[in-house]
Chains A and B, each alone.
Chain A
Amino acid sequence: MQLSIEGVSKAFPGVQALDKVSFELRPGEIQALMGENGAGKSTLIKIITGLYRPDDGRVMIDGQEMSFQSPRDAIAAGIGAVHQERNLIPRFSVGENILLERLPTRNGLLDKDAIHNEARRYLDLLDRGIDTHTEVRSLSVAQMQIVEIAKALSLETKCLLMDEPTASITEHETEALFTLLKRLRDEGASIVFVSHKLEEVFAIADRVTVLRDGKNAALGEPMSTMTRQNLISLMVGREEHIVNKPQRSVDTGVVLEARGLQTSFGHRDISFSLKRGEILGLYGLVGAGRSELARAIVGAAPITGGEVLVNGKTADIRNVHQALNQFRIGYISEDRKNEGLILTHTIRENIAVTIWRRLAGALGLIRPSAELDAVMPYVERLEIRTPSVEQKVGNLSGGNQQKVSVAKWLAANVEILIIDEPTVGIDIKTKAYLHELIHEIAAGGTSVLLISSDMPEMVALADRILVMHDMRLVGEVANDRRYETVSNAIMNRIHAVEEERSTATAG
């Protein structure tokens, strides 16, 4: 299928999301679509899939101009997509989700066997471990992503749009996906691949189109002519990359200590200590239990054994309210849409939520001007790009949303900050900026517990790295900022535990 976009524009209240953008996709190719958060990639994808109608410009398929009124039309025209948002029906089975809009029937009734057999076929291309009868809401995030991809594949369309399909899946699954995409390409399919991970783009794309501020920065350039550096500079307009922060040795008092913690998630014997002004990394694979541990510490989940000490005193933290106001501990959630932000509220309110208590004067009154004064420094310091702090957070790009969820905890001015996957789905520029910031606040005396599965990030920032695997801490690695040695040391710990276990079960 030949898909051409010619001079498409799209405006939202206050933003020109796309400004005369073009894009051209040939049969039998994988083309990367790149750009920072807010550059207009998602808007373009939504236009191609019929969710938005362009204000101006043309969408053509095989030389014919299309005017999609709904996603239905786009699917009928042969365009399948994996969207960035989670698009599954929580209470439906995996099989039903995959075949949702064309469920097979027999005599007018759903043919359950056919559904599961059919869905199985597509799921098997990626992962044999997911049962098609399971309800989607009981799957892990990674499994849901696999289901989304299987769902797009099942349309067997000639054109496939993938918006960050690998954001939450494992390396192994990513490999399987890539093999599959390449096969589809060789069979003549046209594939658009959106990702922030440069490695992946270089590994799979044939050509690349780059958007910057809603305009074309590059149009269908062959990947072979691209280097990492010039791709980044096309996206951000200047050169930028992750810089390791200087190595520090933190030798101060302990502010947070865990002694033999147990939780209802299954954590056993978790002990560690965090010093003042330290960045303590907590590394682990998806499902190791890091976020759950963080939640237990801030009182959002019950602790069933052991104790937490804050500044040397036993702390019985029962909820986040207490963690914030009594113990001055904050937690920046990885799930910013559900836990981190109130999307229907404004930037001002989202940032100020943690400091309302402090701002409230007599009778609990909050002066809006005081609120604004308290919020503005963080909006400016974090360079949150918005026409107004009265903008609803739901209207911001992913990167700016993340900045808001960081800003509100900076505003809270806590002593201990747990930061969970701060840069997932964030563009390179914002990522570098957030790294700078985390380093800065630690230097300012705040203790940071940094949770991340991004190894380069861990190496760049952490002073020490705890390794977590299967609800246990399995080791501590000193960080000398040398990527190879540190990452090897970490992975060795994990492998060693895995081996121990398999010998144990074998024995």
Chain B
Amino acid sequence: MVLAREEFMKLLCDAIRGLAASSILAGLATFGVVGLAQASDNKIALIPGGPHPYFAPWEQAAADAKKDFGIAAVDFKVPQEWKLNLQTELVESLAAQGYTAFGIFPGDAVGINSTMTELKDSSIPSAALAGCAQDPTDAAFCLGTDVYNSAYLGTKELIKAMGGKGAIVHLAGLLVDPNTTLRVKAVETAVGETNGEVTLLQTVADTDAQEAADQKINALLAAQKDEIGGMIATGYIPSVVASKSLRTLGDKRIKFIGIDDDPIVLEAIKDGFVAGTMAQNPYGQGYIGAYVLDLLAGGGCTIKEDATWIETPQTKRFIDSGTLVINADNLTTYKDDLKKVTTDIQSSFKDKYLTCK
């Protein structure tokens, strides 16, 4: 039964590959004059840290990139669980199957490095997408949200929404995740810059699981909702849970900045319970990532070492995939803004960051 299914899927894959090849040929015939990007026979895998709604747009991004850039295959491959060893096993297995480039979200910014080194040793380029791998790293570049900057800007935004003074609380993710440490620092820095006008009341960590987040955030509100002037969440789950708790509480006095565009958060922004959220650009990360990896894997291009990389606490080769604040004003238009950012980065990437033959 199972095997029959595998057989079937293999056939299906072959069929799709055949179709793709013929359509590319047809495409070349038709648009040859226009000069569409050369069709490549690269197989690119986009790999998130684990199953997570944030990465859902990658699937579409992969399909679009494959079509737009004429790549043999761009596949979205998800590790079974949010565990480093499952992610690395997936990468190794795909490498064994002949994938030629990898766009990886480093679920663990440090832990992924040895796998990237191994990929490089086998001349397979890899890039960190959505989040960065910690230097020293063999990732070709990092295209994503600068977690430090995002948290810093978010805190700034929050302070602005609070009118420049008050006490805030930071809802952080897994404490053992190196990114969490950066975010904690970023929030502390932003608070520090107010010269005491704003104080950091408390940092609540390990809010990455639904129920833990629910329990901790509600307990926090119960304990000090009168003292709290604002809250910032730097994780997907606490952002969702806090939006919901504030709605339940019906308290619009407490200002809240979340992260990512989960429907619950957007809804809460619309109804005024949430001041804003730090948007990221998952689609753009996947789309541009696939585009660049294709260029690198083909051997035609190499990374330009002296390009105008942004330097972050995590890595020296960072490209911001676009960080913007979604608030009531741009709630309906932010997607277009992000699209524009995506197009801008993609069209200038080759010249800015690559050396091509």
Whether chain A touches chain B in the assembled complex (some CB pair under 8 Å): no
